[in-house]
A and B are shown apart, each in its own frame.
Chain A
């Protein structure tokens, strides 16, 4: 992909360019582990993000817990070092900055954290808290200004009072301690502190998640005003789609460390393209008296672990639109049921012993394999496959193999059901104003090629 076609419509000048931003954490990485010959396990918290943020723009990063959005925010401020990738702020790669330039970057790029309770030092007055960045950066001398009539300390105090007033507190509250403040007020302190050095860019990491809705509304309004007044650029990280929609110009949706869709806010919310975005939007309960009658298709299962993300499309284990092979004539529901069995067999997770125990308990005695297979099938398949005799037989065959302990054969038996979505990784379309990484949409050439290759090598189920 070339750098100009990342699917952003921001016509304004770019302030921040993020390319292939990757952050892995490693488990089992101690010396003992290495001595024992254990390979470290990578947790792929953030896996290859590309996006731009225009000057004065608000980009939203939305996703569920564990999707990597907060790690992304911290890494692009260099509060954590990346595993790979480049972040250019005003054209300069922040990971290459020398210490002087890094200090300058830190002044210019600030963060507001979710929890106003733990992010403030309880032993510092709020005045000191807001002043701290001014002290650290030796303001105003660092701006080339020296007070003529007033000392640095007086200038700083005046600046802090101005900031406190601006965020809706009072300069008189300078000497108060955080515990004397409500949650909303503490978040205002956090915002005043972030703005102390007049930054250009602020990462807002779940800034209102710990607050009550009426207070949240106050803070959101404040953030909007401050942005207009100081020409701020925001990256808003949130799990709350309503907040995202209210504040953001553009939105990137993350799932398991990757961006699956990115587009102007309006587009994402009125015309989502990725099945995950659709499901996410659908899941939010509306404040509306007809809400009870709104049918929603809830996603099955949990988010898989980032230690071992699913191959291909990472959303495929929960996707309500996963693509069956062309010759598998099952409904989505039936196909999902079969694929779930396949996934469980592949992970060697089918609980054969449990099923045996349970069946024994129910029938008060020893049970043969066939009974165990039945028990697994009735319990696992929440969809009745009896209208699909050949498929039902195939699944039974696979489960029987698993019950007999021959997992490889079990897996092989169902291999013809493998979806394209697991074989080839979908990508965001370069140059598109609204890219989404899903095989249901047009895919870039290299992906299309990979799809053709995968299909060419796939065994033909008809001859099977």
Chain B
């Protein structure tokens, strides 16, 4: 097993909305190894995108990271920060939630990069693609041109943030040198854009969807990030183009050794790309482990439901086994103390009214599920009476879903 690059513990992100507090991400734990592709799978409103934004420090008001730590292994950064923020440093790890905001966000582009479902969100329509990638290259150059020691590094990071803002807010070609432009063209070529020289001078609207996605990847790679967070990177694309983009990501990962956190609702994409995977539901990682743990040895009924909902390309017919009901509201005052899946779970038992902890499951030693079924088989004598939850929610069903829909839309933005 290779070394950990990111340790996320007890991460909680909340949104403070008019309807109340929304627990978008709830005590998430995960460890990401250097050079792996870690998958986070879930449906809309599961908190997967907010988890990504939290890692990137891109959560916007009314959202806030309220708890937990995100420890990032980076020796240089640890050395640079140790004097001023000793509590944030643990060996080679730096807790990004304990350092000043500017340091965390300053790592964006250079240590962490993100690509989105919708390339328009990271490409400016009024600048050529080449200019924008060249700017990202410049940001990286400035960040790393500072001496890699002591405080200077921190300042470098801060400086890079300044130029990052300047370059996005004040689009100006003066940041772009011939050298960075050449690098931009190389990057475009690397992601498989034909005629990169000509294409570099074109504007985003002149690109097809697949080409834009490539351009965004090129932009994200400009800073030579350690970790690439890819949020639904192929969801808007056709399958043949999706296959190309996944190929490129896998290939780049292999060549550069970067770590990828891949967020998607598509279990096939997870299967194709990931070594390990976490399944999110209602803000929690309800099951995680190796691909095999989750796909074959899964214990959580939600994981099972998700797998049962996907029509199988290689086998026709039969009824799908959907998960009945709807995603809960995530409003703190409605979430209750039990398992969040209990109201939809076909095997809910008395004990499920108390929140299950992470319990080890069969398979690899990393396999855990927030479900009592990992501990013992379903005990019918303990089953909750039929309609147990309906009695509590009936009549309010639509109202509940309403708030769930609106608040989730508000908070996810790009989910």
Residues of A within 8 A of B (CB): 64-65, 173, 176, 179-185, 212-218, 220-221, 224, 239, 241-243, 245-246, 265-266, 269, 279-289, 291-292, 296, 298-303, 318, 349, 351, 353-355, 357-358, 361-362, 379-380
Contact = CB atoms under 8 A, between A and B. Distances in A.
A185 B314 CA distance: 29
Contact of A298 (B243, B311, B317, B404): B243
B265 A212 contact: yes
A214 B309 contact: yes
Contact of B247 (A183, A218, A279, A298): A298
11 contacts: A64-B240, A180-B401, A181-B402, A181-B405, A213-B43, A216-B309, A217-B310, A242-B311, A286-B314, A299-B240, A354-B195
A65 B238 contact: yes
B23 interface: no
A243 B316 contact: no
Nearest to B264: A285
Contact of B305 (A183, A214, A266, A361): A214
B193 to A, nearest CB: 11
A452 B214 CA distance: 42
Contact of A185 (B178, B209, B292, B401): B401
B154 interface: no
A298 B185 contact: no
Looking at B243, B319, B323, the one whose CB has the most chain A CB atoms below 10 A away is B243
A281 B208 CA distance: 22
Given A176-B398, A242-B310, A214 B322 contact: yes
Nearest to A265: B316
Contacts of A243: 311
B266 A285 contact: yes
Interface in B254-301: 265-269, 271-273, 291-292, 295-296
A224 B311 CA distance: 13
B313 A351 contact: no
A64 B208 CA distance: 13
Contacts of A362: 182
A214 B43 contact: yes
A212 B239 contact: no
Contacts of B239: 64, 239, 241, 280, 283-284
B402 A291 contact: no
Given A214-B323, A239-B239, A354-B195, 19 more contacts: A64-B239, A179-B402, A180-B399, A215-B326, A217-B321, A217-B323, A220-B320, A221-B322, A242-B312, A246-B311, A282-B243, A284-B239, A286-B313, A292-B273, A296-B243, A298-B240, A299-B240, A353-B198, A354-B196
A313 B319 CA distance: 38
A216 B323 CA distance: 10
A283 B185 contact: no
Given A280-B239, A302-B210, A182 B313 contact: no
Nearest to A224: B319
Contacts, number: 170
B197 interface: yes
Contacts of B314: 269, 286
Nearest to B178: A361
A67 B271 CA distance: 28
B296 to A, nearest CB: 6
A303 B210 CA distance: 10
A284 B322 contact: no
B310 A287 contact: yes
Contacts of B402: 179-181
A289 B307 CA distance: 12
Nearest to A362: B182
Contacts of B384: none
Contacts of A224: 319
Given A181-B398, A185-B401, A358 B43 contact: no
A182 B405 contact: yes
Looking at B247, B296, B306, the one whose CB has the most chain A CB atoms below 10 A away is B306
Closest 9 CB pairs of A and B: A354-B197, A285-B268, A217-B322, A291-B271, A246-B311, A217-B320, A64-B238, A212-B43, A217-B309
Interface in B228-249: 238-244, 246-247
B44 interface: yes
Given A64-B238, A289-B271, A302-B241, A284 B291 contact: no
Interface string B34-67: 0000000001100000000000000000000000
A318 B210 CA distance: 15
Contact of B268 (A179, A280, A284, A355): A284
Contacts of B198: 351, 353-354
Contact of A283 (B242, B271, B401): B242
Contact of A213 (B182, B196, B306, B319): B306
B187 to A, nearest CB: 13
Contact of B313 (A281, A292, A302): A281
A264 B396 CA distance: 45
A256 to B, nearest CB: 13
Contacts of B312: 242, 245-246, 287
Given A287-B267, A299-B244, A212 B44 contact: yes
Contacts of B43: 212-215
Contacts of A303: 238
B211 interface: yes
Nearest to B197: A354
A123 B311 CA distance: 35
Contacts of B320: 217, 220-221, 246
A181 B313 contact: no
